[in-house]
Amino acid sequence: MNIPNKMSAADAVKLIKSGDRVLIQGGSATPQSLIKAMVARASELRGVNIVHLHTEGECGYVAPELKESFYTSAFFIGGNIRKMIGVTADYIPVFLSDIPSLFREGYMKLDVVLVNVSPPDKHGFCSLGVSVDIVISGIEMGKTIIAQINPKMPRTFGDAIVNINQFAACVEVDEELFEMQFVAPSEEEKAIGKNVADIIEDGATIQMGIGGIPNAVLTYLNNHKNLGVHTEMFSEGIVDLVEKGIVNGSQKKVNPNKIVSGFAMGTRRLYDFMDDNPEIEMLDIGYVNDTSVIRQNPKVTAINSAVEIDITGQVCADSIGTRMLSGVGGQMDFMRGAALSEGGKPIIAINSRTLKGVSKIVPTLRTGAGVVTTRAHARFVVTEYGVAEFFGKTLRERANALRDIAHPDYREELDKAIFERFGSSIMI
């Protein structure tokens, strides 16, 4: 069909005015052509507020020399802007599930939304493809929507479908999506993956992200049965499990027989798997990450990671001391949702120490570290050395359990910290 309001990227971004707030679709869907055209207009713009989840690829809008033109307020910090936090960018602490309400309830008004969508079908409907998450609420509430129409974007369903007449400007591009390459798990990550897989039950509904540990977990699920997926994001490892019939969603109570997600990141293989696949429902993150929705599925097993954990079970997942690394994201949405699910298991899975050999299980969190998952919410911690279970355990019992799964080089140090904090063992 004919593309309405078709124009060049340079002309499309002229709809952005000084002082506007601009939401950019993120992840693998980051609309690079529109971003580059917007940055090229920097000399004409002042005080444009950029908001987004993490983006991928170039992000010229955070360049220090453009600080009069653009400043960024990130809901989640990606690697491409991390060094600019405190310079030309800042972080908004917020649960992922709450971000759509910022837009819908008027706390954050959006002037312009930049998106990357599939070409329209014969009825004029495009798809947001691999990233629906917070973007669909942005389209709903934004004053001006600018879209790059991209044949490389897979056509997905659920809340992803948007009519082309909603776009004030359309720019035709042929732009590859960002690809997150598979990284083979280390030996430690393989051990963690096996330990996690061992406590995932048949019929469980799983949530996990991307990276070495999630990849390792997925490789150890080949003998499981009837798994479901309800997750804020998913990656390529899910494809193998679907093709083997291990993931089928048959036990789910909410969106049964469907893979539910807000966004996805992987290689072209994943995007081709998603294309025109009715088994996948890409949905508004306000729904996907709603604890009251998550808890309705059986045996929800939420697998998340952390920067460090203290001996009482406080989980820092977003910072190293005062230095911000990422964000709150959806960790607490799923940790709590899993805890409330019948038979659910909220899991923090970590290497026992960093690549530099520093223990991730510590007597106390670093000064300024953020607590993402509180000690009352943490239930399972998994390292390459085993599983620590917290529910109903005292502070001392938690500390001893964490010591037992810490790296052996640090157990004596942790023993000393436990004694200093809690004294000699209580005899019952």
**Which stretch of DSSP H or E encloses residue 125?**
strand 125-127
**What digits encode the pLDDT tens for the residues 343-398?**
999 999 999 999 999 999 999 999 999 999 999 999 999 999 999 999 999 999 99
Structure tokens at 63: 């360049």
CA distances from 257 to 157, 248, 250, 260, 281 (A): 14, 6, 5, 9, 10
Q: Which of 294, 203, 202 is nearest to 254 (CA)?
A: 294
Residue 33 CA to residue 168 CA, distance in Å, equals 16
Residue 128 pLDDT level (bands cut at 50, 70, 90): very high
**What digits encode the pLDDT tens for the residues 291-337?**
999 999 999 999 999 999 999 999 999 999 999 999 999 999 999 99
Structure tokens at 7: 């124009």
Q: What is the largest CA-CA distance in the chain?
A: 79
Please give the full DSSP string across 230-290, using - where no structure is assigned.
EEEEE-THHHHHHHTTSB--TT-SSSTTSEEEEEE---HHHHHHHTT-TTEEE--HHHHT-
Residue 224 CA to residue 96 CA, distance in Å, equals 30
**What digits encode the pLDDT tens for the residues 97-111?**
999 999 999 999 999
pLDDT on residue 427: 46
Average pLDDT, the chain: 96
If you average pLDDT over residues 273-280, what whole number do you get? 98
Structure tokens at 289: 């990450």
DSSP code for 406: S
Residue 415 CA to residue 149 CA, distance in Å, equals 59
Residue 425 pLDDT level (bands cut at 50, 70, 90): low
- Residues with a catalytic annotation lie at 232
3-state secondary structure of 294: helix
Phi-psi region of 28 (alpha: psi -120 to 50; beta: other; left: phi over 0): alpha
If you average pLDDT over residues 176-193, what whole number do you get? 92
Phi-psi region of 253 (alpha: psi -120 to 50; beta: other; left: phi over 0): alpha
